[in-house]
């Protein structure tokens, strides 16, 4: 969980990775399973529904929404917008 609940959610995927590496965000097992897949395949969040992501990760849809909230977003849609923005700005060969 974010150490400071007033802290804004990460603005970029790189910032999210940094916060995870620095243990500023810590996940329970199920959420970590989803987070790992999302970091490996951010296009999944950008283009798939929460239900599809849940099926791919073998978790409930609620778990996917809980992940977005754990990261600091109010909604899964806000998390998706950050990932889409990342993909728009990142050349294909650097993803």
Q: What is the pLDDT of residues 10-59, one digit of tens each?
A: 999 999 999 999 999 999 989 999 999 999 999 999 999 999 999 999 99
**35 compared with 2, residue with greater pLDDT:** 35
The answer to whether position 40 is within a domain reads yes
What's the predicted TM-score (pTM) here?
0.83
Among 26-30, 57-61, 63-67, 91-95, the least confident range: 91-95
Domain total of the chain? 1
The answer to whether position 45 is within a domain reads yes
The answer to whether position 52 is within a domain reads yes
CATH code at 33? Answer: 1.10.10.10
Q: Which domain holds residue 34?
A: 28-89
CA atoms of 6 and 35, how far apart (whole Å): 22
CA atoms of 10 and 63, how far apart (whole Å): 19
Interval 66-78 mean pLDDT: 95
The answer to whether position 5 is within a domain reads no
Tokens 């798939």 map to which residue?
A: 48
């Amino acid at each position: 969980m974010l150490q400071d609940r007033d802290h804004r959610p990460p603005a970029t995927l790189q910032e999210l990775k940094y916060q995870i590496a620095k243990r500023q965000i810590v996940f329970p097992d199920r959420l970590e399973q989803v987070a790992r897949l999302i970091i490996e395949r951010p296009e999944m969040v950008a283009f798939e529904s929460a239900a599809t992501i849940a099926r791919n990760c073998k978790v409930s849809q609620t778990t996917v929404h809980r992940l977005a909230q754990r990261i600091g977003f109010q909604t899964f849609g806000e998390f998706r917008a950050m990932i889409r923005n990342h993909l728009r700005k990142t050349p294909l060969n650097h993803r």
